[in-house]
Amino acid sequence: MSMTKRERLEKTIHGEEADRVPVALWRHWPGDDQRAADLVEATVAFQRRWDFDFVKVTPASSFQVADYGVQDRWVGNVEGTRDYVRRAVERSLDWTELRVLDPGRGALSRQLDALRMFKDVFGTETPFIQTVFSPLAQAKNICGKERLIEYMRTAPDRLMTGLNTITESTLRFIDSMRRSGVSGIFYAIQHASYGIMSEAEYREFGRPFDLRILEALPEDWWLNVLHLHGAVPMFDLVADYPVQVINWHDRETSPDLAEGKLKFSGAVSGGIGRWDPMHSGTPVEVRAQARQAIEQTSARRFILSTGCVIMTTTPTSNIRAAREVVESLA
């Protein structure tokens, strides 16, 4: 007898036997991510076609910072990400002038509208989770990648003031989501990487703010996914975060899935390379990687996915291969 999506995911998270390995893929919706109704329509159509075990709601990365004065546009990136054309922080003193955002206004309010629409469509049948960027990731979008590191090392007190403001805005947004029907958040971390900063720096400027947010999540949010973006992630530093799932670029960097399971008590998510083979390979190669990942994890505490978003131009045949392989191995 087949399980519901929630039953399957909860069994997987707790290391119990499920009827099959859960599977989910997600992507950006360039252009459609600028209006709540369009984002919902595009996401729902994608889910209805593929029937994944959960839905990751993926607005533009600017949705949490647009109301600070940031501006961006899509210029054709196949990943679906947008380029920033205006920053809100141009000098270190600007960090002290940021104000806590009201989730009842602007871009945050539009995203709450989208979540209410998702609740009307999915109800309790299909779990959906809202993307939330870490304060450091938001700070990068507010001032720019290189400038963020500069401020961290030359104006740490002012940056700390900005991070506290961003964190408070994020906490207010999360509080406003309590009745939205979400099953949790997809918490995206972009700077817990040895290729970007030292572990000591992330312990000072990243981890305390991450924990403030994750420890404030409602107790009934049962599907919180931590996403570690990029190469050489500080996996050990975040393995104790209070989340149920960790997702990272396991096909592009260490640790692999088996090692990740040893370090983390919940479920690991990944197994298929988002570029090769998901985007540029064949269905045969997609199925081969998926089977290898399922064997590597013994089909326990594992959710089949890619290490990050799939490309907007990913072939339908490869998506189908990833979706169908879990059924064939059930």
177-203 tens-digit pLDDT: 999 999 999 999 999 999 999 999 999
Residue 270 has what pLDDT? 98
Residues spanned by the domain of 165: 5-328
DSSP sequence for 19-88? SS--B---B--TTGGGSHHHHHHHHHHHHHHH--SSEEE---GGGGTGGGT-EEE----TT---EEEE-S
Sequence-ordered alpha helix ranges (H) in the chain: 5-13, 36-50, 106-122, 135-143, 145-154, 156-176, 199-205, 207-214, 235-238, 257-263, 283-296, 316-328
Give the model's confidence band at 230: pLDDT under 50 very low, under 70 low, under 90 confident, else very high.
very high
Nearest to 188 by CA among 111, 106, 249, 124: 249
In sequence order, which residues have a C-beta less than 8 Å from that of residue 40 and are 6 or more positions away?
114, 117, 118, 121
> Which CATH number does the domain housing residue 85 bear?
3.20.20.210
The domain total for the chain is 1
d(CA 311, CA 295): 26
What is the model's pTM? Answer: 0.98
CA angle 274, 64, 205 (to 5 degrees): 80
d(CA 326, CA 18): 12
Give the model's confidence band at 1: pLDDT under 50 very low, under 70 low, under 90 confident, else very high.
confident
Tokens of 203: 């312990």
Q: What is the mean pLDDT of residues 151-165?
A: 98
309-330 tens-digit pLDDT: 999 999 999 999 999 999 999 8
Nearest to 222 by CA among 11, 27, 21: 11
